[in-house]
Chains A and B, each alone.
Chain A
Amino acid sequence: MGEYLLSVAVNEEKCTGCMKCMRKCPTEAIRIHKGKARVMEDRCVDCAECMRVCPNRAWVARTYPLTSLSRFKYNIALPSPALYGQFSRDILPNTILKGLKELPFDDVYDVTLACEFYGVVLKEFFDHYRDRRPAISSVCPVVVKLIQVKFPDLTDLLVPLETPRGIAAMDIKSRKSRELGIKYEDIGAIYIAPCPAKIIPIVQPQCKEVSPLDAAVSIADIYGLLLSAMRKVTNKKEELHLSGGSGISWAITGGATQSLGIENCLAVDGIDNVIEVLEHLEDEKLNGIKYLELRACPGGCVGGALNVDNHFLARNKILMLIKMFEDRKPLDREKVNELYRQQFFTCDIKPKPLPMEPLDRDTMRAIQKVKERDKIFETLPRIDCGACGAPTCRSLAEDIVQGRSAITDCIFKLLEKGKA
């Protein structure tokens, strides 16, 4: 696996080269080449905006197919908190978890419970946080990658804790390994993911040397199966959903920071908004903020591209559940301490900066290229029509100086040339 791995791919048979994704991409990572969308890997941050906007369903998530799970002796499903917002209001988390057990999973683990454990540790982290600059949540893999690629100087600010989903995986895998006498490696912790990006830290771990999660399957892929499985679940008393409202609140932007009561935090969602706030942070214009909860998807994980329900409706459902379970028994503090002693929260490695390359590694040549690019740009029509295959005239000018495109890729320039 190289430095860059993408969580989405283009199905060339379905791609019509319509440019919708190219225009939407927040990092200008997409070009249309010979009528098909192409990704510049070093710029992609896995936000899946391309997938969301594609009218031809040509972008596919590189999540794992359900059939791939047979490689594990024992499979455990760990659903994203966003899954609880995907069904009608009468379907409660316990039914969803029971339903998951009817799918090809041997067991389930309520990740919202791990969110509560994580919340306790995060709160303590902030009780001792003294940095002048805010810490940034490391839970959203798109945010982590965006920072690595576009704001490399901010990577040190990412909260150095394993994610709730990772903690959940370690907790259940070590417990099941003990109880059932199965080797830890033979147990598969499978994340039920609301977005393609969740596969990235599985393949390229950000905190532990080896990812605690083993695979991620898409919520959309299991949705139909889960609906029918839930119809079959019995009333047999089985408490699978264990968290209170605060754990469930992780599904939506700002839910967790609100329930934890961390002061001076800023909760921001939507990739463009996240970029704007990080620009502010880079220029030291965010004074007095202690914590940045950044989520690439609109509304938080409920807005992930692999969800089924509209994110406003899902948010509404999550808010209902938060209220419904807010008075649940207090959190098991001893359990948090136990996980802490096992060092499940601490990171062995840190995400490393992966800065986008300047126009040239040689500064003199880079300056020359800036001049050339700006000169070319002046001659372009500057209407960003996209017909050349680049999202803007400026990006075409850059592609030309980098040798990726020719001036005649611009239809206006081609026409001029034809007339001359």
Chain B
Amino acid sequence: MQDHETGELLLEKRFSIEGGDFIHAGGVSSAIKKILKDIGIRSEIIRRASIASYEAEMNVVAYARKGEVTFRVTHQYLQLLFKDEGQGIEDIELAMQEGYSTATEAIREMGFGAGMGLPNIKKNVDGLTIESEVGVGTRVEMIINT
């Protein structure tokens, strides 16, 4: 993964997510998609950023009390940072496996929690860092090179 601490910051936007609010879930990823279309980013990049941010947003909605999103555009890449206060991930490696899920029955009944979230994020980003503490929360940082 490239060094994403450098690179001139061109645009920064912040959003918040309510845990458990499935009705408005997807709002943050749509807003990000809209900004990317407005600035004329290539559609392939927009597609990947939308999918990855949607999955990350759903994770916050399903497993956290609340979350903060920071979206940055630099010369070389997009950075999507999702920080939440929630149950955290016990075994990140396991969570990265397709089909692995800790979703409750209620979440699965809503059509989520198929265990594809993190694997799907990984498929669509160029860099992924996940830090998590059980009972405290999770920090997911995604980089997509432009």
Contact = CB atoms under 8 A, between A and B. Distances in A.
Interface of A: 152-153, 279, 282-285, 355-361, 363-364, 366-367, 369-371
7 contacts: A152-B43, A153-B43, A282-B50, A355-B43, A358-B37, A358-B39, A367-B73
A363 B47 contact: no
A283 B54 contact: yes
Contacts of A357: 40
B79 to A, nearest CB: 14
A358 B11 CA distance: 16
Most chain A CB within a 10 A radius of its CB, from B37, B47, B51: B37
Given A283-B54, A355-B43, A367-B11, 14 more contacts: A152-B43, A153-B43, A282-B47, A283-B47, A358-B37, A358-B38, A358-B40, A359-B39, A361-B40, A363-B40, A366-B39, A367-B39, A370-B11, A370-B39
A364 B54 CA distance: 26
Contacts of B40: 357-361, 363, 366
Contacts, number: 44
B34 to A, nearest CB: 10
Q: Give the size category of B's interface with A.
A: 10 to 19
B10 interface: yes
Contacts of A371: 11
Interface of B: 10-11, 29-30, 33, 35, 37-41, 43, 47, 50-51, 54, 73
Contacts of B47: 153, 282-284
A363 B76 CA distance: 12
A369 B40 CA distance: 12
A370 B33 CA distance: 13
A285 to B, nearest CB: 7
Most chain A CB within a 10 A radius of its CB, from B10, B29, B33: B10
A271 to B, nearest CB: 18
A303 B38 CA distance: 33
A369 B38 CA distance: 9
Contacts of B39: 358-359, 363, 366-367, 370
A282 B29 CA distance: 12
A370 B41 contact: no
A367 B38 CA distance: 8
A267 to B, nearest CB: 20
4 nearest A-B pairs in the assembled complex, by CB-CB distance: A358-B40, A366-B39, A283-B50, A153-B43
B48 to A, nearest CB: 10
A162 to B, nearest CB: 28
A390 B98 CA distance: 46
A282 to B, nearest CB: 7
A354 to B, nearest CB: 13
A367 B29 CA distance: 18
A285 B33 CA distance: 14
A293 B33 CA distance: 25
A419 B73 CA distance: 39
Given A359-B38, A360-B40, A363-B40, A284 B11 contact: no
A22 B33 CA distance: 24
A282 B54 CA distance: 12
Contacts of A285: 54
Nearest to A358: B40
A361 B41 CA distance: 10
B135 to A, nearest CB: 30
A403 B10 CA distance: 22
A156 B87 CA distance: 42
Most chain B CB within a 10 A radius of its CB, from A282, A360, A364: A282
A355 B46 CA distance: 14
A359 B37 CA distance: 9
Most chain B CB within a 10 A radius of its CB, from A283, A355, A367, A371: A283
B43 A283 contact: no
A243 to B, nearest CB: 39
A363 B30 contact: no
Contacts of A152: 43
A149 B33 CA distance: 16
Contacts of B35: 370
A283 B33 CA distance: 10
